[in-house]
Amino acid sequence: MLQLKPLDANVPIFQQLQTEQSPVILVNLFQVAEADVPQLLEAWAHDAAWMKQQPGYISTQLHQGIAGSLVFLNYAVWESVAHFRNAFHHPDFKSALDRYPSSAVASPHLFTRLTVPNLCVGP
Q: CATH number of 3-111: 2.30.30.60, 3.30.70.100, 1.20.1070.10, 3.20.20.150?
A: 3.30.70.100
Measured CA to CA, the distance from residue 78 to residue 30 in angstroms comes to 19
Measured CA to CA, the distance from residue 21 to residue 74 in angstroms comes to 20
Does the pTM of the predicted model rise above 0.95?
no
Are 108 and 8 contacting, i.e. CB atoms less than 8 angstroms apart? Answer: no
pLDDT score for 121: 86
| One-letter identity of residue 24 | V
Measured CA to CA, the distance from residue 76 to residue 66 in angstroms comes to 20
pLDDT score for 122: 77
What is the residue-level pLDDT of the chain in tens, covering all 123 positions? 899 999 999 999 999 999 999 999 999 999 999 999 999 999 999 999 999 999 999 999 999 999 999 999 999 999 999 999 999 999 999 998 999 999 999 999 999 999 999 999 877
Angle at 99 between CA 86 and CA 44, to 5 degrees: 65
Say how many C-beta atoms besides its own lie within 10 A of residue 55's C-beta: 11
pLDDT score for 17: 97
